[in-house]
Amino acid sequence: MISRSGLPNTKHGLRLDLRRLILVLCALTALVMLCASYFASYRVQRQLLIDHALEANRVYATKLASITETFIGNALQQLQFSAGVQGRQLSDAVALQAETHRVLAQSMAFNSTFVIDADGTLLSVSPAPLRHLVGGRMHSPGVDEALHLRRALVSTPYVSAANNLVVTLSQPIIDEQGRYLGYVGGTLYLREHNILNSLLGEHFYKDGSYLYVVDHQRRLLYHPDNQRVGTVVQGNALIDQLPTLPSGTLALTNSQNVEMLAGFATVPSARWGVVAQQPLSRTVAPLNTLVLNVIGASVPLALVGSLLLWWLALVIARPLWQLAASARRMDSANTAEDLHRVRAWYFEAAELKRALLFGLNLLHERIGRLNREAQTDPLTGLVNRRGLEFSLSLLEAEGRRFSAIVMDVDHFKRINDSHGHDTGDAVLRQLAHSMRRCCREGDLLCRTGGEEFLMLLPGADLAVAASVAERLRAIIEDTPIAPVGDLTVSLGVAHWEGTDDAAGTLAAADRALYLAKQSGRNRVVVA
């Protein structure tokens, strides 16, 4: 019986009808699609934000690296001009000091300026608190580097005589005869206020991002945390790329285990790297608010869509529900009339009977194909032992005479051992191809074991079978198979007259094959 609610009452309890199944399916589909769209939108927007942040950081780092490069170039030009002036007044201590002070005060580019002669003696220095060092021999790494290279230089960071972590910019002093007289230098105190602080300390990002600068030896020259200036950075994949790339981007986890989005650029003249980075969490934080707003805006639309789906489910399910109800009353006199009254307004309802018949035929076809697959060797496409037994039983039941050819590959184990099982499989497939070339349309080709094959030739006498076997043996011998090369087979031939057990004929063919193996292989023996 059918209840008023549209649900069939059965002994086994309450079962869902098509209408409710459609509603559940539509609801689940809508939910899955909605979640998938939210997720896909979130992932796409997140990646866009990350890509934008990476590129923005790269552009910003490139801009600051360019500004730093310009500053270094201008500073070196100032020192070059001063070197020309100082070269003409090295013996005049007052003039030296005046020029040194002028360079320091000219652009406020340096924390200190000085002149050192070719022997490493400090001739002049500014500001005044450092003048007690004048006349002393300087032996810092920066002094040694400048005296050794004797060219325009941005030094490696080192600790100065005044116990400051410094970077020195220097220009050589050359007289008119081309002799090296010393150099003019300016220093940046990395742990105190300097031009790098002015260039890099304030920037327009307010999202937790910051900048730092490292030299070619991975030493921090600038960092918002002044305590880290001068330390060597280890285990940073981004810094590993600085010597090879002029600029780039990278998502990484920093030393505080925070995921960062970094862009970097290099300062070629100093071999410094400028890195701009910001936390990943701060980058994607606005996206979370955006997704929540989208969800809130889509809830009313989802409710309207749910009502529409409910109405559509009723309209779609009604014809099929009426057909199902009529099918349960096939013995009723009014069934035909009821079916005529069903308004099958869409194709599926109108073609239900035809679809069922088609499905039944398709099922039989698939069962037949499964039977064929169960009787087929997957490697060679030949009939397997199960198919052989079935065909043999048919021939025996019909009393139809046949000849059997049993074939075995000579030294097949050597092929597998020398070339591998993949090559062995390729050899077996080639042998199956050769067998097909030698057989007739009604012959049965089987693979009965690893390298053992069998041919059933219905209606063929022993002479015909022996001829077929010899032709197959010759084809295989004359057809090299890469990378194995020449290949030979041994074959045994037997004939069934239709009187005794057909399986005995196969045993006779096996014995003939054994004789072919004992006689030297690569031959045909007839039982």
Residue scoring higher pLDDT (289 or 64): 64
Task: Encode pLDDT of 178-202 as tens digits.
Answer: 899 999 999 988 877 777 777 766 5
- Per the domain annotation, does 12 fall within a domain? no
Considering only residues 463 and 23, tell me which one the structure prediction assigns the higher pLDDT: 463
pLDDT at 172 exceeding the cut of 70? yes
| 291 lies in some domain | no
Between 4 and 80, whose confidence is greater? 80
Residue 428 lies in a domain: yes
Q: What is the rounded average pLDDT for all residues in the chain?
A: 83
Residue 80: which residues within 8 A CB-CB, separation 6 or more? 152, 171
Please identify, among 141, 168, 189, the residue that sits at the C-terminal boundary of a domain.
189
Beta bridge partners of 363: none
- pLDDT band for position 362 (50/70/90)? low
Domain end among 141, 172, 189: 189
- Res. 229: pLDDT tops 90: no
102 found inside a domain: yes
Its domain, for residue 467, covers: 369-526
* Position 207 confidence tier, pLDDT thresholds 50, 70, 90: low
Least confident stretch, 48-57, 227-236, 304-313: 304-313
CATH number for the domain harbouring residue 101: 3.30.450.20
* 351 is annotated as an active-site residue: no
pLDDT digits (tens, 9 = 90+) for 483-526: 888 999 999 999 998 878 888 999 999 999 999 999 999 999 99
| Candidate list 337, 451, 470, 477, residue with the active-site label | 451
On whether residue 315 sits in a domain, the answer given is no
**Confidence (pLDDT) at 368:** 58
Rounded to whole angstroms, how far apart are CA atoms 236 and 212?
Answer: 13
CA distances from 500 to 77, 233, 399, 508 (A): 112, 90, 10, 12
Cα 476 to chain centroid distance, Å, stands at 45
Q: Is residue 453 part of a domain?
A: yes
Shortest CA distance to 60 belongs to which of 241, 222, 197, 205?
205
Identify the pLDDT of residue 2. 43
Q: Does any domain span residue 285?
A: no
Band of pLDDT at residue 352, cut at 50, 70 and 90: low
Residue 144 falls within a domain, yes or no?
Answer: yes
Task: pLDDT band for 140, please (50, 70, 90 cuts).
Answer: confident
Which domain CATH number covers 420? 3.30.70.270
Domain tally for the chain?
Answer: 2
Among the three residues 189, 210, 228, which one is the final residue of a domain in this structure? 189
Eight-class DSSP state of 127: S
pTM for the model stands at 0.53
